[in-house]
C-alpha cells in the first residue's frame, strides 16, 4: 500500500479561491520544490536581511504543529517542506489517512464536504499514492477535490489516466487545480515558476484557475505579464488575485487594495478567510 508523508490533516472552511466557504478536509503533503522566502520582504530580496524563518530556526525543536510560530514573511506553511520540521510529518499508509479523514468529518462519511490536497507541493512525488487514497471504498462518496499546486509539476501518465476515469460524468465528480503560480515577489525565479505548458495540461483534467499572491503595483504588473504568457500558451481559465498576508496585520493592510485591483481588471478576488476567521493558525 502507498504511503504519503503528511504535514497536516485537518477539517476547516476553505478560505481561498473557487471553494471559499466550503467545509473541507485539508490533506497537506510534505515537501516543496520552492521556498518562497521573498514574501513580505523588500525587493530585491536582501540576502543579508533575516526573515521570520531564520529566527524560528533558532527556536527549534518544536514537538507539535500547534506550537509553531506564524510568520509574516516567506511561506506561511514553511513546516510542510523545511527539513528542520520533517520530524513533525509522519509517513502514513493511505488506509490510515482515510481512517483519520472519517474521524474528522462531522458525520463520519463524505456528504457535502470537499477535499483539498495541498502542500508543500502536492504534485511532487505523491501522485501515485493518490490512486490508492481515492480508490479506498470510503472515499467513493467524495465528489469534489482541489489540488492546490504551484503549477510547476507535470502530471504523470498514470495519474492522467486515473483522472480521466475519475472525472467520468457518470460519477458526477469534479477535480480542480488551484494554481498559485509564483511571481518574483515570492523570491523564486520566473523561469522556474511560470510554466504555461504544465498548467495548460492541467486544464485537460480538471477546472483550472490561476491565483496570484500580490501586495504592490509591481506584483500586479508581474501578474499581468504571467497571465499573458499563460494565455498565449492556450490557458482559458479564471484568474484570481489574492492579498499577501499569513498574519492578520499584513493581510488587513492590502486586502482591499488587491480586491479593487482585481475588480478594475475584470479578474476575480480571492480572500484568505482563514486569516480573519482563525488568524491563520496551524490546522485552519
Ligand atoms: S510553493 Fe507554496 S508551499 Fe512551496 S514554498 Fe512556496 S508558498 Fe510555500
pLDDT of residue 49: 58
pLDDT of residue 227: 98
pLDDT bucket at 51, cuts 50 / 70 / 90: confident
Distance, in Å, from the CA atom of 235 to the CA atom of 250, rounded to the nearest integer, reads 31
Q: What angle do CA 122, 252, 60 make, to 5 degrees?
A: 50
pLDDT of residue 46: 43
36-45, 147-156, 220-229, 250-259: least confidently modelled range: 36-45
pLDDT bucket at 162, cuts 50 / 70 / 90: very high
Model confidence pLDDT, tens digit, residues 230-249 = 999 999 999 999 998 767 77
Pocket test for ligand 1, best of 16, 71, 78, 81 (most atoms within 8 A of CB): 81
- Cβ density class 236-260: b for 16+ within 10 Å, e for less: ebebbbbbbbbbbebbeebbebbbe
According to DSSP, the residues that pair with 117 across neighbouring strands are 27, 147
User: 274 exposed, middle or buried (CB, 10 Å; 0-12, 13-18, 19+)?
Assistant: buried
Query: What separation in Å is there between the alpha carbon of 165 and the centre of ligand 1?
Result: 29
Q: Which ligand 1 atom is the nearest neighbour of the CA of 186?
A: 6
Nearest CA to ligand 1 atom 2: 120
Per cent of the chain over pLDDT 90 is 73
pLDDT of residue 281: 80
* CB of 40 closer than 6 angstroms to any ligand 1 atom: no
Mean residue pLDDT across the chain = 91
Distance, in Å, from the CA atom of 90 to the CA atom of 44, rounded to the nearest integer, reads 36
H/E segment holding residue 59? helix 52-59
Distance, in Å, from the CA atom of 130 to the CA atom of 274, rounded to the nearest integer, reads 26
Nearest CA to ligand 1 atom 5: 35
Res 170 pLDDT > 90: no
User: 120 exposed, middle or buried (CB, 10 Å; 0-12, 13-18, 19+)?
Assistant: buried
Average pLDDT estimate for 48-73: 80
pLDDT of residue 246: 67
Res 133 pLDDT > 80: yes
Distance, in Å, from the CA atom of 15 to the CA atom of 283, rounded to the nearest integer, reads 12
Give residue 274's region: left, alpha or beta (phi > 0; psi -120 to 50): alpha
Nearest CA to ligand 1 atom 3: 120
pLDDT bucket at 47, cuts 50 / 70 / 90: very low
pLDDT of residue 42: 77
Res 127 pLDDT > 50: yes
Query: pTM to 2 decimals?
Result: 0.95
Res 59 pLDDT > 90: no
Res 252 pLDDT > 80: no
Nearest by Cα to 120 from 67, 66, 79, 176: 79
In terms of pLDDT, which residue wins out, 180 or 71?
A: 180
Q: Which ligand 1 atom is the nearest neighbour of the CA of 35?
A: 5
pLDDT of residue 271: 93
Amino acid at each position: 500500500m502507498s504511503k504519503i508523508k503528511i504535514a497536516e490533516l485537518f477539517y476547516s472552511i476553505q478560505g481561498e479561491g473557487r471553494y471559499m466557504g466550503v467545509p473541507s478536509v485539508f490533506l497537506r503533503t510534505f515537501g516543496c520544490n520552492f521556498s518562497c522566502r521573498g514574501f513580505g520582504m523588500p525587493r530585491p530580496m536582501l540576502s543579508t536581511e533575516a526573515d521570520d524563518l531564520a529566527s524560528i530556526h533558532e527556536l527549534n525543536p518544536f514537538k507539535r504543529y500547534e506550537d509553531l510560530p506564524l510568520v509574516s514573511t516567506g511561506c506561511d506553511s514553511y513546516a510542510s517542506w523545511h527539513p528542520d520540521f520533517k520530524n513533525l510529518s509522519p509517513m502514513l499508509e493511505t488506509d490510515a489517512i482515510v481512517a483519520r479523514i472519517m474521524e474528522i468529518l462531522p458525520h463520519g462519511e463524505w456528504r457535502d464536504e470537499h477535499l483539498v490536497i495541498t502542500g508543500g507541493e502536492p504534485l511532487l512525488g505523491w501522485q501515485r499514492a493518490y490512486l490508492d487514497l481515492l480508490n479506498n471504498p470510503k472515499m467513493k462518496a467524495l465528489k469534489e477535490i482541489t489540488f492546490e499546486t504551484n503549477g510547476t509539476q507535470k502530471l504523470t501518465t498514470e495519474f492522467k489516466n486515473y483522472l480521466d476515469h475519475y472525472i467520468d460524468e457518470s460519477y458526477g465528480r469534479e477535480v480542480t487545480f488551484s494554481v498559485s503560480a509564483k511571481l518574483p515577489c515570492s523570491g523564486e525565479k520566473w523561469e522556474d515558476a511560470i510554466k504555461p505548458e504544465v498548467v495548460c495540461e492541467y486544464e485537460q483534467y480538471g477546472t483550472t484557475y490561476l491565483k496570484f499572491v500580490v501586495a504592490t503595483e509591481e506584483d500586479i504588473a508581474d501578474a499581468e505579464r504571467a497571465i499573458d504568457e499563460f494565455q498565449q500558451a492556450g490557458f482559458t481559465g479564471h484568474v484570481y488575485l489574492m492579498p499577501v498576508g499569513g498574519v492578520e496585520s499584513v493581510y488587513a493592510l492590502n486586502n482591499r487594495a488587491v480586491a479593487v485591483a482585481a475588480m478594475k481588471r475584470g479578474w476575480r478576488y480571492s480572500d484568505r478567510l482563514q486569516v480573519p476567521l482563525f488568524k491563520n493558525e496551524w490546522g485552519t
